[in-house]
């Protein structure tokens, strides 16, 4: 199922005091690091994710990170991560828009949670606001990395 066909969950955004290409580089690095490591791989395995390990480069279509496959990557505008596991089919679309001298990073989540186990999983992840915490942390990390690297000569 294409990410645009999934039900909308939420969208968050953050202003970044750096050009879109700098924000893109920061986004790829942060996404690669945020989902890297044995812990994330174990969680992906426990959930039954299709993608359980990192392959390729997070900014390239077909690459994987635990829990996600890069479905679309058009630097410096959009990065679409899609995934599936026992309880959900989901997509995280990250868009970078020019915003004056800087840029704005938006993260849109779409997902479906089939069956009673899916509804229970949604309650745990979305209802607890854990998803919001993780997405906002990801956005702040991209902002900090982009603004630090944009300030370097």
> pLDDT, tens digit, for every residue of 42-83?
999 999 999 999 999 999 999 999 999 999 999 999 999 999
pTM metric for this prediction: 0.93
Confidence band of 99 (pLDDT split at 50, 70, 90): confident
Domain of 139, in residue numbers: 3-151
- Domains in the chain: how many in total? 1
- CATH number for the domain spanning 60: value is 3.30.530.20
Residue 116 CB burial class (10 angstroms; 0-12, 13-18, ≥19): exposed
Confidence band of 151 (pLDDT split at 50, 70, 90): low
As a whole number, mean pLDDT of residues 23-46 equals: 93
> pLDDT, tens digit, for every residue of 101-124?
899 999 999 999 999 999 999 999
* Angle formed by the axes of helices 20-34 and 130-151, nearest 10°: 130
Measure Cα distances from 41 to 30, 51, 65, 98, 121 in Å: 17, 9, 9, 34, 19
């Amino acid at each position: 199922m294409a990410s645009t066909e999934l039900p909308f969950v939420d969208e968050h955004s953050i202003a970044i005091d750096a050009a879109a290409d700098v924000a893109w580089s920061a986004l790829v690095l942060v996404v690669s690091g945020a989902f890297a490591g044995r812990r994330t791989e174990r969680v992906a395995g426990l959930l039954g994710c299709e993608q359980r390990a990192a392959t390729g480069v997070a900014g390239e279509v077909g690459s994987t990170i635990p829990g996600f496959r890069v479905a679309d990557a058009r630097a410096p505008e959009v990065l679409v991560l899609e995934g599936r596991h026992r309880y959900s089919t989901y997509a995280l679309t990250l868009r970078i828009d020019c915003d004056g001298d800087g840029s704005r990073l938006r993260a849109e989540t779409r997902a479906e949670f089939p069956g009673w186990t899916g509804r229970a999983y949604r309650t745990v992840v979305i209802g607890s606001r854990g998803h919001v915490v993780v997405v906002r942390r990801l956005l702040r990390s991209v902002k900090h990395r982009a603004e630090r690297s944009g300030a370097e000569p």
